[in-house]
Amino acid sequence: LFNLKGRDYITTRDYTREELEYLIQMSIDLKKMWYSGIRVRPLEGKSVALLFKKPSTRTRNSFQAAVFRLGGFSVYMRPDELQLQRGEPVKDTARVLDRYYDALVIRTFGQEEIVEYANYMKNPVINALSDEEHPCQALADLMTIKEKFGRWDGLKMVYTGDIWNVAHSLIATAPLFGMDLVLAVPRGYNPIEEIWKFGEREASRRGTKLEIVHDLKEAVKGADIVYANTWWSMGKPEETKDKRKEDFAPFTVTPEIMNLAKENAIFMHCLPAYRGNEMTEDVIEGKWSVVFDQAENRLWTEAAILAALI
Ligand code: CP
Ligand code: NVA
């Protein structure tokens, strides 16, 4: 048993594999209980603040639904509704919110802003996506893989899409869970060095493969999981859109690409998905796709994070 009470969840890199597995097992248990009609309320009397500087469909709603299902109360805020908009410093906002809420879930640009909130708050701070990482997504992805394959070790994942938060969180977790991870992207799209080094260390410790290649067809051979993501993340300058479209054009996941992977391979995507770009309609709607189970699992993994940390 692990006691994670009071911890932040800003990056998966602060957690051991055993701690992450504990959270995933708790997510699976909470999901099973819910569908068996068993109701548990570990967040009874607890309140959770959500502060989102970027749009969100899944993260916002899954957190609010998770808090509600576990008996708690949540408030959603955009920064323009707070005095932040008029220049109140993060450190003051953090200390005030800390007096009202039992946890803060925050989506913003720089990772350092989330760290600043955490430095000024006693209660847990949870990263709901930064430019650097998307640790809540990674946990739901791992849960989905466990549900589909019953294991992680020995699987091969191929990722294609923007090398940004979601890719970084996969680089930080796939090697830790014994999976090979091949990123198939155009030249010139590279991960943050510190996260890449973390992934490399874990890969060499566990004897798995971690590499960046530029040929999607070659990469997907023998893959168990093909994971696609948008070519154009939130916050990326509008003027880079056309260049990205051109650079990533050879990396669309099609049924032909999926047929090069293993027979029982699955298609994953954090969503939102842009049909005709990172994958075709017949892939995301096809037999390989697990994207809506993956989206649902956001709720169960966030429920476990909140229940464990608060
Ligand atoms: N996958 C994900 O984080 O989706 P939202 O941006 O809709 O929250
Ligand atoms: N990389 C994407 C993920 C969205 C959930 C973005 O940052 O926009």
Helices and strands (H, E) in the chain, number of each type = 12, 9
- Distance of alpha carbon 30 from alpha carbon 268, whole angstroms: 22
Residue 56 Cβ < 6 Å to ligand 1: yes
Residue 162 Cβ < 6 Å to ligand 2: yes
Determine which residue's CA is closest to atom 6 belonging to ligand 1.
Answer: 56
| Cα 166 to averaged position of ligand 2 atoms, centre (Å) | 7
Tokens 């299902």 correspond to what residue? 69
Domain 12-133+298-309 and domain 137-295 have a common topology: yes
Q: At what angle do helices 135-149 and 291-309 cross, to 10 degrees?
A: 120
Farthest-apart Cα atoms in the chain, separation: 56
Residue 289 Cβ < 6 Å to ligand 1: no
Average pLDDT, the chain: 98
* Percentage of residues in the chain having pLDDT higher than 90: 100
Give the pLDDT confidence score for residue 218 in this predicted structure: 98
Residue spans of the domains in the chain: they are 12-133+298-309, 137-295
Averaged pLDDT for residues 130-145 = 99
> Is the CATH code 3.40.50.1370 the one for domain 12-133+298-309?
yes
Q: Report the CATH number of the 137-295 domain.
A: 3.40.50.1370
Averaged pLDDT for residues 135-146 = 99
Averaged pLDDT for residues 127-143 = 99
Atom number of ligand 2 nearest to Cα 234: 8
Instruction: Provide CB contacts within 8 A for 122, sequence distance 6+.
Output: 6, 98
Q: Is the pLDDT of residue 54 over 90?
A: yes
Q: How confident is the model at residue 296 (pLDDT cuts 50, 70, 90)?
A: very high
Q: Is the pLDDT of residue 163 over 90?
A: yes
pTM (two decimals): 0.98
Q: How confident is the model at residue 111 (pLDDT cuts 50, 70, 90)?
A: very high
Give the pLDDT confidence score for residue 179 in this predicted structure: 98
Give the pLDDT confidence score for residue 1 in this predicted structure: 82
Strands (E), the chain: 47-52, 73-77, 103-107, 125-127, 156-160, 180-184, 210-213, 225-228, 266-269
Atom number of ligand 2 nearest to Cα 232: 8
Give the pLDDT confidence score for residue 284 in this predicted structure: 98
Q: Is the pLDDT of residue 252 over 90?
A: yes
Give the pLDDT confidence score for residue 139 in this predicted structure: 99
Residue 234 Cβ < 6 Å to ligand 2: yes
Residue 192, both tokens: 């943050």
Give the pLDDT confidence score for residue 135 in this predicted structure: 99
Give the pLDDT confidence score for residue 76 in this predicted structure: 98
Instruction: Provide CB contacts within 8 A for 21, sequence distance 6+.
Output: none
